[in-house]
Amino acid sequence: MLRLKTSDKGFDQAFRRLVADRRESDENVARDVQVILNDVRTRGDAALAELTARFDGHALTGEDDWRISPGACREAFDALKPELRAALELAAQRIRAYHEAQLPANRDAVDEVGVRLGARWRAVDAAGLYVPGGRAAYPSSLLMNAIPAKVAGVERLVVVTPTPKGQVNPLVLAAAHLAGVDEVWRVGGAQAVAALAYGTQRIRPVDVITGPGNAWVAEAKRQLYGVVGIDMVAGPSEILVIADGRNDPEWTAADLLSQAEHDPSAQSILITDDPVFADTVADRIGVELAMLPTARVAAESWNTHGTIIEVASLDEAPALANALAAEHVQLAVEDPEPLLDAIRHAGSVFMGRMTPEAVGDYVAGPNHVLPTGRRARFSSGLSVLDFMKRTSFIQLDDAALRAVGPAAIELAEAEGLPAHARSIEVRLGI
């Protein structure tokens, strides 16, 4: 665990190293992924079957080995214990309500010279959702990806998910039923992303791919951007907690470990103005780890990437937070509003002592698919807009063209494009 103090002589250099630490895939991953993508593009289902057998130990032979039926998803949902089913339904309801409020409005207006201008929003035809298997098989992520797509109006929603040794996660299937997923394919990894992008003999291509995954999945999405749309290139999870000394150290330690348990490469950072509180939280981390079934992963994350930064005043915190541009920023202070106003770069902000980041992962409503690796400087969390595109439209009559056409002719001629100019001139009789 790294301990920094803004008043120390070497702080600026140490902080720059912290900000620059990418914790993401290397060139070897990029090369391996490129080979996989080319193989699936060339050989389709045959490549998928070979790669799935190699990496997941699952043979794609009969139709049930390839695809999970809607009936199986419904059975998984019906088999949930009532409390868990109710929790999943509450999460879905809140996620749906929040994202319905994001739907953009069409525009249609005539300006002062008579030009009709507007735009219409439409959903993409098909979206593919990557749902991890193994350690990161989370039904909450399926809801967070599938529900905005359905709210946007996507007609065909396709899930790909690995089933190691043929094992399926019933919670994921239950979430797929609740969200209205149309197809669930038992393939994962970079090869599944390639199948969604290029299509194979069995799997029809989609227009947008979203969803979290490991380094190979993230790299596959990066390489395929342009063939399809993607939500983002996601890296390891991050949490930044800004806290004063009036917090409960037990709560803060638990908050920091809530992201550390995701991945050994995850990063948890505490900024505080109270050195005694910082010491107590650091000690409490060990106690919390001793109680966690996920302690091995969380401890590796904390010991390798965990950081405590001591500031003279929390007034210093926003500048540090903006440089880090973290995925999750938790403002554990009495009055979080001034800090919120000063923080420009964050995936999502959790305000006050009673708002742990974990509630946002499940039932708050806003999307938990958020930019990592400092990408909050220029990108946002997943929304309905990731599944939609805007088409502008223009309509002129004779009077409107005479009002604006001469300026267009002038600009076209200045750019050396006479055919552009002529297409306007012939209508104006010039």
Pairs from 388-391 (Cβ < 8 Å, separation ≥ 24): 388/104, 388/121, 388/122, 388/123, 388/124, 388/152, 388/153, 389/121, 389/122, 389/124, 390/104, 390/119, 390/120, 390/121, 391/119, 391/120, 391/121, 391/122
The residue annotated as part of the active site, out of 262, 328, 345, 368, is 328
Coil, helix or strand for 348?
strand
Contact (Cβ atoms closer than 8 angstroms) between residue 85 and residue 77: yes
Q: What is the pLDDT of residues 144-154, one digit of tens each?
A: 999 999 999 99
What does pTM read for this prediction?
A: 0.93
Which uninterrupted H or E stretch holds 196?
helix 189-198
Contact (Cβ atoms closer than 8 angstroms) between residue 153 and residue 187: no
The contacts of residue 381 (CB under 8 Å, 6+ apart) are 347, 348, 366, 367, 368, 369, 370, 371
> pLDDT confidence of 135, banded at 50, 70, 90?
low
Q: What is the pLDDT of residues 155-191, one digit of tens each?
A: 999 999 999 999 989 999 999 999 999 999 999 999 9
Is 99 catalytic? The answer is no
Q: What are phi and psi of 126, to 5 degrees?
A: -145, 140
Is 63 catalytic? The answer is no
The residue annotated as part of the active site, out of 305, 327, 357, 368, is 327
Q: What is the pLDDT of residues 219-248, one digit of tens each?
A: 999 999 999 999 998 889 999 999 999 999
Q: What are phi and psi of 380, to 5 degrees?
A: -125, 170
Q: What is the pLDDT of residues 23-72, one digit of tens each?
A: 776 778 999 999 999 999 999 999 999 999 999 999 999 888 999 999 99
Which residue shows structure tokens 């199948």?
Answer: 195
Report the Cα 133 to chain-centroid distance in Å. Answer: 17
Q: Which domains does the chain have, with CATH numbers?
A: 2-24+235-364 (3.40.50.1980), 27-109+123-230 (3.40.50.1980), 396-428 (1.20.5.1300)
The contacts of residue 267 (CB under 8 Å, 6+ apart) are 21, 23, 236, 237, 238, 239, 259, 301, 305, 306, 307
Tell me what percent of the residues of the chain surpass a pLDDT of 70: 99
- Arithmetic mean of pLDDT, 269-293: 97
The CA distance from 304 to 300, in Å, is: 6
